[in-house]
């Protein structure tokens, strides 16, 4: 009995020759395997007297199918099953979540029978919508080549090959939009119908009366043989829909996942082997992708199950399968995978439940039904659908937990003591200082173990796991612990999942001893009414997958109960560290991600287990991942905790692994996932890139390591022929090849405003002229005799000497599209302050980010792709503005002359430029205050003031002051010169000038304060002096020509304008500033003032000798340093210009264009440049190694000298101590002798007294 389930399985068919796909230009072409001519058929009669339209009148005691069922499918919401039999009857069954026979609620007879399909060599396809409202059936030709496809006006058999059935009315319908619908059909969960005709995937909305809302151009996938796995093109199309996405099975054992809404590539997965069949599944939270590959029969290989991270496409776990697997699926309520297939003798089916993150088998169920008649669906993964001999459908629970009999309850000892059965081991509890301690007592004495978070009571809940008391199970409020008692050591730890309510505790634990090697514990929790099944390890188990995984999850639970200081000092945590450290060599792949939202590496970094983190990274199997739906990761946590060595190790690891796959850098700069249609993909928080600014040396190291990062051969862009042009730094190829994106055409009204449409039209017009100019330029500059190789030639991809490199920072250039609730939020996030990692680093990042070839590739790509044209257009407007103002100022225009046209244009352009500056001011805030922006503001405000003075009637003479006009002209010239920094040689020198100003700014401020201080002092000193009294006087006589003598005349020197500047404070400032240039004529009139002489001496000594020499030295040092990094500073400036173009000169639709902002940028690396760069890095590494070696030698010599000196001092101390002891002994002897003598004298003195008495 033939039975095929239309499920998530893909099988290759090598017996059919390869095909070549072609598409037709113009309006929607209808291939030959689709026709639309025959009227719909009537519903089938289930009974001779009843029609099938009414559910209540259906005869449910028999099946609506008199022939075998050929297809069984599920509706996207999992409420109904649809079946298609060999005789063309379609039936609808409620998908009941219970083990009962199903009753058909609808049936319809179609002409698409198996006989028709076999005769016409066609393939039948069935799909059911949500709630079973609509059923779509198609019949498609099994073509050998797409070159054979052409539009047929009539069907060869006169049968309609596309039917859309409304189950509510029981009739076939054909909306106007589906009049020419044809191809592979599939209903999706968001009430849309996708129809693929081999050229396009058209999406029709059920809610909008079957209106086509968008279509995807599939030619990028069909036109290249390397992207086709199935030899039959139809099979490739049938298997591509599932899980609200398009899955494409490529030729080199790759699976790519595309978004059905935008047509963008979401992930790409590398399969472990060349397969004959594949089953795949996506987790309900869209974080995991699992595959089960079955190799070709003659390959001699075994099947694999692999789990990938969908955000990066990186494999997380992989395991060899011992049993045959037909299909896999994720369980909705848990992070588990369920698989089913036949047992060893093919007589029944077997079901396994796997942990998704470790791929260990949690449960196994074996049934009695024929595996060939069983199918299950991701919409209801725990329900098996069985087709019986009467062509009826029956459902069975795939997972049935029936606790066995003779369970042993873990009892609570009220006195806090238990004894093993052989009386050799005794356990008791102690409650001291609100801590719960357990003591083990045996022949060797007492041993104490700490069990945390248990109330300070004497009660003990424990049970020995064997008669000899070698192992004991201890139950606390939240945990289950297994200890070895003879030498107290923690073997196993299980805790309540950390993602459930904190009030939930363990109520009762029952043990099943039927299998002494694998004792099962049934844990009953309070509040939930749930029972957790825990398989305890065998006595000889050490560091198994289950032990390690449960230990990591328990560590996360402890993290939630203790603050960081107590967590790091806790005794149980120390036991966990010992177990995990010994588990790293055996299970290194378990520490990337675990169940229940646990990330082991995060817990290790939090616990200060840096040595374990280093061990895990050295195994080179760690897979980077984010913490849930955020951009937090192990890297951001290490940066926040100021763990420099861990940050360095992680950055080195990601950079090293980026050679294999650029997605290893996803934690440094992830692609904005808000473009995903699923809300669960949305992430919140900053990426790690801004945090890395705290470690500029590590950023420079990372940029060095990812420069000239070669693209692996498995990359999609390596498989697509592209047009590579010599001399072009960035890769020159078709847009969809660069961006990995299907061409998506949105047909429903977009959320565009009129200004967006205006900018789009303006941009497309400019792009048209730019492409025309580029084509003309290429035509006249292409090499002679090399026309074939110069143009789009696939062979050039293999012969071109340049190496294809990539920038392994997936989200560096892309802008996230945020959902906004108010118009102000929309304006802010899309027009005022849109941000990408690149623009953020360009505005506020350091120079170390821009000093390597990888950033030069990014800047070149952006500059030549879109920024150059937009910036030159904006600069041209500024030049026009400059010229108009210069001409108007030169003509000295005023209102009386009536020639104010130029000034009016100047006023309008000034306002437009100031509006742009105002956008930047709002976007940047106080960070807007820079030299460049200050010059821009002055260049726009001063001409505006001049224009207002000429134009506005409130000014009588209508002539701006000449100082104002001259200042405006000067500022405009300065702005023009600064804008010339786009040219490399001039830009480098301008960068040097601004870097020097930036470096000496603090010195200039200090110099200004000194000038201010001297000016103030001299103003107070000299403002009362009369300069006329000190001016020189000359006397003489005038002798006329004719002779004679007149009276004596007296002459006095006339004072100049700058003779006495100290009458005002401003003049004093001017005079003191002149002192810097040794111009002291301003104080020549104040002779004989000793105080002035002292001030003059101090000022000349301080400024002329000390500060000016320091300034010269600083400028020389900054100049030398900036000259060495001049190109880096210039690239930083160009990056800033590009960022301004992206943020302030592009529309949201432009920034959402993946052609302009691809996730990964590719560029051509000249082999000579790559080799020279590697040699340069090697020389630096050798130099650093030599320096490190010399430092170590000096350190060893210094330590040796210090050690010898310490030894010499120690010997001297010993000698001195010996001498001191000798002197002390002599002193003691002398003291005793003196005491003896004194005693004798006392006796002699007392003798006469006694005699007298």
Q: What is the pLDDT of residues 363-378, one digit of tens each?
A: 888 888 777 788 888 8
Closest CA to 327 of 371, 369, 358, 272: 371
Contact criterion met (CB below 8 Å) for 575 and 479: no
Pull the structure tokens for residue 810. 């997936």
Helix axes 1108-1124, 1001-1022, angle to 10 degrees: 160
At 650 the pLDDT is 92
Helix (H, G, I), strand (E, B) or coil at 171: strand
At 11 the pLDDT is 44
How, if at all, do strands 241-242 and 134-141 pair?
Answer: unpaired
Helix axes 853-862, 1126-1144, angle to 10 degrees: 40
636-642 long-range Cβ contacts below 8 angstroms, 24+ apart: 636/667, 636/686, 636/688, 636/691, 637/602, 637/605, 637/606, 638/605, 639/688, 639/691, 639/692, 639/694, 639/695, 640/691, 641/605, 641/606
- Distance of alpha carbon 1089 from alpha carbon 567, whole angstroms: 75
At 391 the pLDDT is 84
At 724 the pLDDT is 37
Contact criterion met (CB below 8 Å) for 849 and 863: no
- Distance of alpha carbon 149 from alpha carbon 198, whole angstroms: 9
Counted residue by residue, the chain has a size of 1253
Helix (H, G, I), strand (E, B) or coil at 1164: strand
Burial class (CB in 10 A: 0-12, 13-18, 19+), 748: exposed
Judged by phi (left if over 0) then psi (alpha if -120 to 50, else beta), residue 768 lies in alpha
- What is the pTM assigned to this prediction? 0.76
DSSP state of 850: G
At 337 the pLDDT is 92
Q: What is the pLDDT of residues 421-442, one digit of tens each?
A: 767 777 777 665 556 667 777 6
At 917 the pLDDT is 92
Pull the structure tokens for residue 615. 């061990």
* DSSP H helices in 1049-1166: 1065-1075, 1090-1099, 1108-1124, 1126-1144, 1148-1151
Alpha-carbon separation of residue 663 from 314, 670, 847 (angstroms): 7, 8, 25
Q: What is the pLDDT of residues 263-273, one digit of tens each?
A: 777 888 888 88
Closest CA to 1013 of 1080, 1073, 1063: 1073
Grouped pLDDT means (10 residues each) for the chain, 1253 residues: 42 34 30 31 31 34 80 91 91 82 88 83 88 90 53 48 88 84 86 84 89 79 64 71 84 82 80 85 89 83 90 89 88 82 83 90 84 82 84 82 76 72 71 64 59 55 84 86 84 85 84 83 81 88 89 87 78 85 89 86 90 92 83 86 91 87 78 38 55 83 84 67 38 34 46 50 62 62 43 40 76 76 82 87 82 85 87 91 85 52 86 92 87 91 88 73 89 92 86 81 87 89 66 62 61 56 82 78 70 84 82 80 77 91 89 79 73 65 57 68 76 78 75 72 61 48
Contact criterion met (CB below 8 Å) for 975 and 942: no
Alpha-carbon separation of residue 1191 from 148, 240, 698 (angstroms): 74, 61, 22
Percent of residues, the chain, with pLDDT higher than 70: 72
Pull the structure tokens for residue 627. 């913490």
């Amino acid at each position: 009995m033939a039975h095929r389930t239309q499920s998530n399985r893909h099988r290759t068919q090598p017996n059919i020759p390869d095909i070549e796909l072609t598409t037709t230009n113009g309006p929607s072409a209808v291939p030959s395997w689709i026709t639309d001519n025959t009227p719909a058929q009537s519903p089938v009669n289930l009974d001779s007297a009843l029609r099938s339209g009414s559910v209540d009148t259906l005869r449910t005691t028999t099946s609506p199918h008199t022939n075998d069922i050929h297809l069984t499918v599920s509706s996207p919401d999992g409420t109904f099953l649809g079946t298609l039999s060999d005789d063309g009857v379609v039936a609808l069954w409620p998908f009941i979540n219970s083990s009962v026979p199903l009753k058909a609620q609808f049936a319809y007879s179609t002409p698409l029978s198996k006989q028709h399909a076999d005769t016409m060599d066609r393939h039948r396809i069935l799909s059911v919508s949500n709630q079973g409202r609509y059923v779509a059936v198609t019949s498609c030709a099994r073509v050998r080549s797409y070159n054979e496809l052409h539009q047929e006006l009539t069907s060869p058999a006169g049968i309609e090959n596309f039917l859309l059935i409304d189950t509510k009315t029981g009739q076939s319908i054909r909306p106007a939009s589906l009049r020419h619908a044809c191809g592979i059909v599939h209903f999706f969960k968001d009430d849309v119908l996708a129809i693929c005709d081999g050229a396009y995937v058209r999406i029709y909305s059920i809610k909008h009366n079957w209106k086509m809302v968008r279509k995807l151009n599939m030619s990028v996938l069909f036109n290249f043989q390397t992207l086709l796995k199935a030899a039959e093109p139809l099979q490739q199309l049938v298997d591509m829909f599932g899980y609200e996405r398009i899955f494409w099975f490529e030729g080199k054992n790759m699976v790519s996942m595309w978004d059905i809404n935008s047509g963008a590539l979401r992930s790409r997965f590398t399969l472990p082997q060349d397969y004959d069949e594949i089953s795949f599944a996506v987790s309900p939270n869209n974080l995991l992708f699992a595959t089960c590959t079955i190799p070709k029969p003659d390959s001699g290989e075994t099947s694999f199950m692999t789990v990938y991270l969908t955000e990066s496409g990186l494999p997380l776990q992989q395991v060899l399968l011992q049993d045959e697997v037909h299909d896999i699926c994720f369980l909705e309520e848990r992070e588990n995978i369920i698989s089913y297939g036949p047992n060893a003798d093919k007589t029944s089916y077997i079901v396994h439940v796997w942990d998704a993150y470790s791929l260990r088998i949690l449960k196994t169920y074996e049934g009695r039904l024929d595996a060939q008649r069983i199918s299950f669906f991701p919409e209801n993964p725990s329900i098996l659908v069985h087709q019986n001999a009467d062509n009826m459908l029956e459902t069975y629970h795939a997972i049935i937990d029936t606790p066995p009999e003779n369970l042993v309850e873990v009892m609570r000892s009220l006195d806090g003591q238990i004894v093993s059965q052989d009386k050799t081991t005794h356990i008791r509890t102690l409650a001291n200082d609100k801590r719960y301690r357990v003591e083990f007592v045996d022949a060797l004495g007492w041993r104490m173990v700490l069990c945390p978070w248990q109330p300070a009571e004497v009660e003990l809940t424990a049970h020995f796991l064997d008669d000899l008391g070698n192992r004991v199970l201890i139950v606390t409020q939240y945990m289950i612990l297994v200890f070895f008692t003879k030498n107290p050591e923690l073997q196993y730890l299980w805790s309540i999942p950390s993602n459930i309510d904190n009030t939930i505790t363990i109520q009762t634990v029952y043990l099943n001893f039927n299998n002494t090697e694998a004792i099962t514990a049934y844990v009953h929790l309070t509040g939930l009414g749930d029972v957790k099944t825990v398989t305890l390890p065998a006595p000889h188990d050490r560091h198994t997958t289950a032990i390690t995984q449960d230990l990591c999850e328990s560590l996360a639970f402890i993290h939630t109960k203790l603050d960081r200081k107590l967590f790091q000092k806790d005794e149980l945590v120390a036991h966990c560290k010992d177990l995990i450290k010994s588990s790293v060599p055996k299970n290194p792949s378990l520490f990337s991600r675990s169940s229940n939202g646990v990330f082991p590496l995060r817990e290790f970094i939090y616990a200060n287990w840096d040595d374990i983190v280093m061990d895990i990274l050295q195994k080179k199997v760690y897979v980077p991942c984010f913490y849930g739906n955020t951009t937090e990761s192990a890297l951001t946590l290490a940066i926040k905790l100021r763990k420099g060595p861990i940050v360095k190790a992680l950055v080195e690891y990601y950079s090293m692994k980026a050679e294999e796959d650029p997605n290893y850098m996803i934690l440094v700069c992830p692609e904005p996932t808000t473009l995903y249609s699923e809300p669960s993909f949305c992430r919140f928080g900053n990426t790690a890139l801004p945090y890395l600014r705290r470690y500029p040396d590590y950023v420079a190291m990372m940029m060095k390591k990812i420069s000239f990062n070669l693209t692996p051969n498995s990359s999609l862009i390596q498989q697509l022929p592209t047009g590579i042009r010599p001399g072009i730094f960035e890769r020159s190829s078709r847009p969809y090849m660069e961006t990995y994106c299907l061409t998506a055409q949105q047909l429903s009204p977009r959320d565009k405003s009129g200004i967006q449409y205006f900018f789009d039209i303006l941009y497309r017009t400019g792009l048209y002229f730019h492409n025309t100019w580029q084509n003309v330029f290429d035509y006249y500059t292409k090499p002679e005799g090399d026309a074939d190789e110069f143009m789009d030639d696939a062979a050039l991809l293999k012969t071109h000497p340049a190496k294809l490199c990539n920038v392994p920072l997936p989200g560096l250039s892309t802008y996230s599209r945020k959902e906004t609730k108010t118009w102000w939020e929309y304006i802010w996030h899309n027009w005022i302050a849109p941000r990408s990692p690149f623009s953020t680093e360009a505005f506020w990042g350091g120079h170390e980010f821009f000093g390597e070839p990888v950033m030069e590739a990014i800047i070149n790509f952006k500059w030549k792709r879109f920024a150059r044209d937009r910036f030159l257009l904006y600069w041209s407007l500024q030049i026009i503005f400059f010229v108009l103002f210069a001409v108007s100022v030169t003509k000295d225009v005023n209102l009386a002359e009536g020639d104010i046209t130029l000034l009016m244009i100047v006023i309008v352009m000034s306002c437009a430029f100031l509006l742009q500056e105002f956008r930047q001011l709002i976007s940047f805030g106080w960070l807007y205050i820079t030299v460049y922006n200050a010059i821009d503001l002055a260049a726009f405000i001063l001409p505006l003031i001049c224009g207002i003075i000429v134009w506005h009637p409130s000014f009588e003479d209508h002539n701006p002051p000449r100082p104002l006009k001259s200042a405006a002209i000067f500022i405009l010239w300065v702005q023009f010169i600064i804008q010339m920094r786009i040219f490399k040689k001039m830009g480098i020198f301008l960068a040097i000038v601004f870097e020097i100003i930036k470096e000496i700014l603090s010195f200039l401020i200090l110099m200004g304060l000194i000038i201010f201080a001297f000016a103030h002092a001299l103003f107070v000193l000299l403002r009362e002096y009369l300069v006329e009294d000190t001016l020189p006087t000359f006397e003489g006589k005038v002798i006329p020509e004719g002779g004679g003598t007149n009276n004596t005349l007296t002459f006095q020197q006339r004072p100049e304008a700058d003779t006495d500047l100290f009458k005002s404070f401003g003049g004093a400032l001017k005079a003191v500033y002149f002192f810097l240039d040794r111009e002291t004529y301003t104080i020549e009139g104040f002779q004989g003032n000793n105080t002035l002489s002292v001030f003059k001496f101090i000022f000349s000594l301080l400024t002329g000798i000390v500060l000016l020499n320091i300034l010269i030295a600083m400028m020389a040092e900054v100049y030398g340093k900036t000259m060495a990094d001049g190109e880096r500073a210039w690239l930083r400036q160009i990056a800033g210009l590009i960022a301004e173009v992206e943020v302030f000169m592009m529309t949201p639709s432009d920034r959402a264009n993946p052609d302009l902002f691809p996730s990964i940028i590719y560029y051509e690396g000249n082999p000579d440049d790559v080799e020279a760069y590697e040699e340069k890095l090697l020389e630096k590494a050798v130099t650093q190694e030599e320096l490190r070696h010399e430092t170590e030698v000096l350190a060893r010599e210094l330590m040796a000298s210090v050690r010898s000196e310490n030894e010499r001092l120690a010997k001297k101390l010993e000698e001195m101590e010996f001498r001191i002891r000798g002197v002390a002994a002599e002193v003691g002897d002398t003291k005793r002798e003196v005491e003896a003598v004194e005693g004798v004298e006392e006796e002699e003195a007392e003798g006469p007294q006694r005699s007298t008495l």
